[in-house]
Amino acid sequence: MSTDSVSKNANPFIDIGVNLTSSRFAKDLPEVISRAQAQGVYKQIVTGTNLASSQEAVHLCHQYPQSLYATAGFHPHHASEVDAVSWSALETLWQEPKVVAIGETGLDFNRNFSPPQQQLDSFEKHLQAGCDYPLPLFLHEREAEDAFFELLAHYRPRLLAGAVLHCFTGSQAWLKRLLDLDIYFGITGWVADERRGQDLRDAVPFIPSERLLIETDAPYLLPRNMRPKPKSSRNEPAYLPSIAQTLANLRHQRVTDIAQQTTNNAQRLFNLPVN
């Protein structure tokens, strides 16, 4: 496919969290992917949030084999969908070469779209899977710090390939606790949100360079400091360099160093081919 090629002009980036199976990308996905590549976002990891979206993510990977990878799991919002049949289908996906992480999984006690006990059960099953399959965990946490930490700490020594807390939005204190578990941190456009991002901005300089990852979480979380301001509220992987620029400012680093470091980190954690 013509959009599935690599240009060499921009800083190379990997967007570790894009929701390309969202209906908001249904009409113009080839353009979305080619706009991303024009900005140097050569690789993207498509987030699977339940069985159907994980399968759809893998399907997209086969359409764009040079650009896309996928995660497979049940987001805490979808924890109540976990049953024996869907779980065994998920285990099949974890053996697909294009699937590079187990998740999205974790705990979200902010909205409790699934009951907390079902979230805990589902999270624990995914953690156990991370001890059985050589894939990192792609994690989500909202208003569930203590329960999240307790389960992750229990399984962390046996995880075969580590973990990333995607869309980390927490404080420096939360960061310090999690650093003891030696995990990676995915930073989104939340860092540019002047209304609610101050804790994160204070914490960002303390993330070790070798544990830093970046992601748009598109179509969500359009960076609020983009100029000119995009006409649509839909976020796109092509906007990832804007997040890198915000991080570079906060960390007093060059954006090329952020690009290089986060690309190396993503390749290492997700075991992606280097090219």
**Interface residues toward Zn ion, by CB under 5 A:** 140
Q: Please tell me the distance from the alpha carbon of residue 217 to that of residue 169, in angstroms, as a whole number.
A: 13
What radius of gyration do the chain's Cα atoms show?
17
Q: How far is the CB of 224 from Zn ion (least distance, A)?
A: 19
Look up residue 191 and give its amino acid. Answer: V
Smallest gap from residue 79 Cβ to Zn ion (A)? 13
Nearest to 17 by CA among 269, 274, 252: 269
Q: Smallest distance, Å, CB 140 to Zn ion?
A: 3
Whichever of 94 and 168 has its CB closer to Zn ion, that residue is: 168
Distance CA 16, CA 138 (A): 9
Residue in the shown chain whose Cβ atom is closest to Zn ion: 140
Q: Helix, strand, or coil here: 232?
A: coil
Of 142 and 234, CB closest to Zn ion? 142
Closer residue to Zn ion in complex, CB, 40/48: 48
**Comparison of 15 and 34: residue with beta carbon closer to Zn ion:** 15
DSSP class of residue 143 equals: S
SS3 content of the chain, % helix, strand, coil (to 5): 45, 15, 35
Q: How far is the CB of 272 from Zn ion (least distance, A)?
A: 20
Render the burial of 229-246: b for 16+ CB within 10 Å, e for the rest.
eeeeeebbbbbbbbbbbb
Q: Smallest distance from the beta carbon of 52 to Zn ion, in angstroms?
A: 17
Residue closer to Zn ion by CB (options 214, 259) is: 214
Least separation in angstroms between CB 273 and Zn ion: 26
Whichever of 73 and 162 has its CB closer to Zn ion, that residue is 73
Helix segments in the chain, DSSP class H: 29-38, 51-63, 84-93, 116-132, 145-155, 172-179, 198-203, 240-251, 255-270
